[in-house]
Structure 1
Amino acid sequence: MGRKVAYVYDETFAYHHYGPGHPMKPARLMLAHNLVLTYGLHRKMDCFRPHRATAGEMMQYHSPEYIDFIRRASPSTAKALANEAQKFNMGEGTDCPIFNDMFDFCSLYSGGSLDGAVRLNHGLSDICINWPGGLHHAKKTEGSGFCYVNDIVLAILEMLKFHPRVLYIDIDIHHGDGVEEAFYMTDRVMTCSFHKFGDFFPGTGELTDTGSGKGAGYCVNFPLKEGMTDQDFARVFKPIIRRIMEIYRPGAVVLQCGADSLTGDRLGCFNLTVDGHAECVRFVKSFGVPLLLVGGGGYTVNNVARCWAFETAVAVGEDKDLSAEIPAHEFSGYFAPGHRIHLTPKASLQNNNTKEYLEKYKNIILQNLQDLQGAPSVAMQELPPEAFLENPEAAGVVVKPSALLS
């Protein structure tokens, strides 16, 4: 019997715009969604529009002052709010511009991840997909790396109301620093990031960063070099995730599928193909644990669309039968000239991850994991209030699947 998959999307995601010249293009979500429709994958899922997360929901992690600023900030108020903007690492001179309807954008993608967490908690879905989410760099009181509200942290906090342990996995080319920082001192969330390290944003995520206090040992970082290939990525990803699942035994998993680790990304320097990237989704799915899939980085928009559409197919078990040639549709021009779902790695891009380097780091991580004293337990006493109880339909808890989302 197949696993129940829920898919969250709203057509207004693509209406938001970070500004001219900015590499983050929300329109990539429209391209990915249209591929999902073109391949008929929506017929294999329960499709929902996300509720808009409230300021109060965002404040479950972020500071009230920070969220209040995001509500008030717009291009028309940016000059008057310049001092506040700098305090929160936004606006001129930062990588987090102030743009129109910024709060609404954050509300939508955060609401989608919260909806996914609630559905997983209630057993209404086995896998939930929110490609607009995954903004893993946002901190408690500041924006960072094109990220404003950390929807991943909000979703994990919701999951912790039902699950003693949650695992977060990050395959974006950039280190998942915002999520790691939020849970660095707890053993209830294990974070595991595979990322480019060195002279590369955000400059964090060393092998020796393994958590602190009660969270010591529950943070895993695999620093990688440019040119990473499918084969080498799988060689380190699979044994580490397998060991984590055996030892940590999470009740739920969040997998951040940032597509900037693909070959040919505007800001990336890895050489992964769509299928190599999706192999991580296949592998994590194989454990049968409630799974939230979110997006993240990705700056060559047609490749992002290819990746997330194909990973949607993996989630619903249709990837083996998916046509390699993308069927004709409204946005076919974006996938010319080949019109193929898959990518070819760049032969000219040297892989600087030697076998010796990968084996050394893999073995250190595996040993660190082996030294953990089994899965931590937690007394689940009276549960905190669930999100959306005042309006359960907003989370898709009792709502029926919508018609075709256009």
Structure 2
Amino acid sequence: MSTLVDYPTFSDSPFFFDRRNLHIAQEEGAHVASHSAPRVAYFHPKDVGNYHYGERHPMRPHRLELTNNLVLGYGIHEKMAMYNPRPATEEELREFHDADYVDFLKRVTPANAPKLTKDYSMYNIGDDCPVFHELFKFCEQYAGASLAAARKLANESTDIAINWSGGLHHAKKGEASGFCYVNDIVLAILELLRVHPRVLYIDIDIHHGDGVQEAFYLSNRVLTVSFHKYAVDFFPGTGNLSEIGANLGKHFTLNVPLQDGIDDESYISLFKAVMEPAITTFRPSSIVLQCGADSLGLDRLGTFNLSIAAHGECVRFIKEFGLPLLVLGGGGYRQSSVARCWAYETGVLAGVDLPNQLPSNNYYEFFGPDYQLHPPLTGRIHNFNTRQSLERIRMSIREKLRYMNGAPSVQMQEIPPDLMGFLEAEERSKEERDEEANNGTAGDERSDGRGKQNEYFDPEVAHEDGDLITISSRGKRTMRF
């Protein structure tokens, strides 16, 4: 008698998702020998979690101290090189941001803020982006960490660099936006572009990565891919399918607009279906992954149903491509969930399996009553993403990738000091100018769904953490490919 065999319908490669176990992250075998394990560098500026936006503000830098304490409690630091990077300089911030805006951030304090109200509207300072004590020092610290991490990757002295204090993707060239003042992601990508011909930016925050998209909208050397909620009443209101880039950057912007309640199965399968062909087509030299944790279920501002395991599976999938990888934080407004998620993903990147029981740490009481790394997800939101709508998005993205027509080549040359100006000065060919006149909107869809009340009150106190190690600053480089 013959026995029935459950033949798999997908490849055993880590680049495919096994639908037979959709509820959990997929275990990967030992594809890389232990002596070939990727080198991981972890950047945590001292006291970066001790800043405070205000009593009723949802952004709490204190979540970074919770994350760091879990990383140390689990012992993951023993598998990584730990760094306390220097703050970014004003000159480094001006690589992207306007000089007058940087000067304003440097000058403004809670004490002199009433005298500078004329500048508030110019620089978008207000309730979302308040003035708080040592604001500029906070910006220097998280931006300096992202720049240090990018330099480490560009020097080829690490394979994976982590900075959970970074990932503030809404800040624009001359104004603050969405709790973000300095766009450390753009600064880090510019640093990588000094050496790497092509950089892929991936954003899994629930909010659209509009600041990064805008910065590289005209460039074909950076492919931006953002997975986010898209609705008329949800910040920032951008990120539809028709936003594909312009000039040289046409077809080098991809957006994946989603609706409330998307679950693990739908998100992971769509993420892998988009990212595998995107990486294969664009052939990036390095990847920047923004891991905003407000896409987790039960977030105070988010409306998705993602588990920590599913969020981490996206990180695991990108890691398996073996490209130089910069991993950054971002949003996330339930501190205990953010700390759990980023600690888990630090373990994923460092190749450490973490037990579900949380280790003893200075903030253990924050993680009650379950004290687990993967707490049960309660209070689920109805999933408004139908199978048909997700398939429509997937097909639209595939079609847009076809128009990318392969990875752009980059001539070997000395990179000028003002890299942002160099990118903006690139000229288009006549064929590219003619093509721009026919900018299509295939597959565009937008939901004007229900709103969500996001106000809450959750005062908490920040604490100090220990010293780490300092790294050096950058020098001139010649581009290689």
Task: Give yes or no for TM over 0.5.
Answer: yes
Does the C-alpha gap of structure 1 residues 69 and 226 become closer, same or farther in structure 2, counting only changes over 3 Å?
same
Count how many residue pairs are aligned between Structure 1 and Structure 2: 389
1: CA distance, partners of 2:95 / 2:366: 39
2:87 is the alignment partner of 1:52 = yes
Q: Which residue of the other structure, out of 111, 114, 133, is the alignment partner of 1:76?
A: 111
2:404 is the alignment partner of 1:372 = yes
Task: Give the match's secondary structure for 2:114.
Answer: coil
Per the alignment, residue 333 of structure 1 pairs with 365
Per the alignment, residue 330 of structure 2 pairs with 296
Q: Which residue of the other structure, out of 54, 74, 78, is the alignment partner of 1:43?
A: 78
Q: Does the 8 Å contact 2:85/2:471 carry over to 1?
A: no
2: CA distance, partners of 1:90 / 1:30: 26
| Greater mean deviation of Cα atoms: 346-355 or 94-103 | 346-355
Deviation at 1:386, TM superposition (A): 11
Task: Give the match's secondary structure for 1:108.
Answer: helix
Task: Give the match's secondary structure for 2:395.
Answer: helix
Provide runs of 4+ in structure 1 moved above 4 Å. Answer: none
Task: Give the match's secondary structure for 1:191.
Answer: strand
2:169 is the alignment partner of 1:136 = yes
Question: Identity percentage over the alignment?
Answer: 49
Per the alignment, residue 192 of structure 1 pairs with 225
> Which residue identity does 1:52 align to in structure 2?
P
> Which residue identity does 1:80 align to in structure 2?
K
Using structure 2 for the length normalisation, give the TM-score.
0.79
2:287 is the alignment partner of 1:253 = yes
Per the alignment, residue 394 of structure 1 pairs with 472
2:315 is the alignment partner of 1:237 = no
> Which residue identity does 1:369 align to in structure 2?
L
Per the alignment, residue 404 of structure 1 pairs with none
1: CA distance, partners of 2:379 / 2:471: 50
| Greater mean deviation of Cα atoms: 371-380 or 353-362 | 371-380
2: CA distance, partners of 1:346 / 1:170: 25
Per the alignment, residue 131 of structure 2 pairs with 98
Does the C-alpha gap of structure 1 residues 47 and 68 become closer, same or farther in structure 2, counting only changes over 3 Å?
same
Deviations 1:343-376 (A, max 9, x none): 3333642111111110011111011102221100
Deviations 1:323-348 (A, max 9, x none): 10102222111111111101333364
Deviations 1:4-43 (A, max 9, x none): 0000012311211101110000000000000000000000
1:86-125 correspondence to structure 2 within 5 Å = 86-91=121-126, 94-125=127-158
Deviations 1:248-290 (A, max 9, x none): 0000100000000001100000010111000110000000000
Deviations 1:290-329 (A, max 9, x none): 00000000000000000000000000011xx311010222
- RMSD value, Cα: 1.5
Q: Does the 8 Å contact 1:258/1:295 carry over to 2?
A: yes
Per the alignment, residue 402 of structure 1 pairs with none
Deviations 1:203-232 (A, max 9, x none): 000011111111110000010001011111
Q: Which residue of the other structure, out of 272, 282, 300, is the alignment partner of 1:266?
A: 300
Does the C-alpha gap of structure 1 residues 386 and 4 become closer, same or farther in structure 2, counting only changes over 3 Å?
farther
Using structure 1 for the length normalisation, give the TM-score.
0.94
2: CA distance, partners of 1:385 / 1:207: 34
Task: Give the match's secondary structure for 2:115.
Answer: coil
> Which residue identity does 2:242 align to in structure 1?
T
2:310 is the alignment partner of 1:276 = yes
2: CA distance, partners of 1:54 / 1:97: 22
1: CA distance, partners of 2:375 / 2:281: 35
> Which residue identity does 2:409 align to in structure 1?
S
Does the C-alpha gap of structure 1 residues 313 and 395 become closer, same or farther in structure 2, counting only changes over 3 Å?
farther
> Which residue identity does 1:138 align to in structure 2?
A
Structure 2 residue ranges without an equivalent (≥5):
1-35, 420-469, 476-481
Q: Does the 8 Å contact 2:83/2:471 carry over to 1?
A: no
2:55 is the alignment partner of 1:20 = yes
2: CA distance, partners of 1:256 / 1:393: 23
Per the alignment, residue 162 of structure 1 pairs with 195
1: CA distance, partners of 2:328 / 2:361: 25
Q: Does the 8 Å contact 2:244/2:250 carry over to 1?
A: yes
Q: Which residue of the other structure, out of 340, 356, 359, is the alignment partner of 2:391?
A: 359
> Which residue identity does 2:366 align to in structure 1?
Y
1:147-226 correspondence to structure 2 within 5 Å = 147-198=180-231, 199-226=233-260
Deviation at 1:393, TM superposition (A): 4.1
Does the C-alpha gap of structure 1 residues 396 and 303 become closer, same or farther in structure 2, counting only changes over 3 Å?
farther
1: CA distance, partners of 2:303 / 2:381: 8
Deviation at 1:239, TM superposition (A): 1.5
Structure 1 residue ranges without an equivalent (≥5):
398-406
Deviation at 1:385, TM superposition (A): 5.1
Q: Does the 8 Å contact 1:170/1:194 carry over to 2?
A: yes
2:413 is the alignment partner of 1:381 = yes
Q: Does the 8 Å contact 1:197/1:203 carry over to 2?
A: yes
Deviation at 1:237, TM superposition (A): 0.5
1: CA distance, partners of 2:229 / 2:282: 25
Deviations 1:47-88 (A, max 9, x none): 000111011100000000000000001100100111112210
1: CA distance, partners of 2:344 / 2:399: 34
> Which residue identity does 1:394 align to in structure 2?
S
Q: Does the 8 Å contact 2:53/2:130 carry over to 1?
A: yes
Q: Does the 8 Å contact 2:264/2:305 carry over to 1?
A: yes
| Greater mean deviation of Cα atoms: 39-48 or 323-332 | 323-332
Q: Does the 8 Å contact 1:53/1:107 carry over to 2?
A: yes
2: CA distance, partners of 1:348 / 1:184: 36
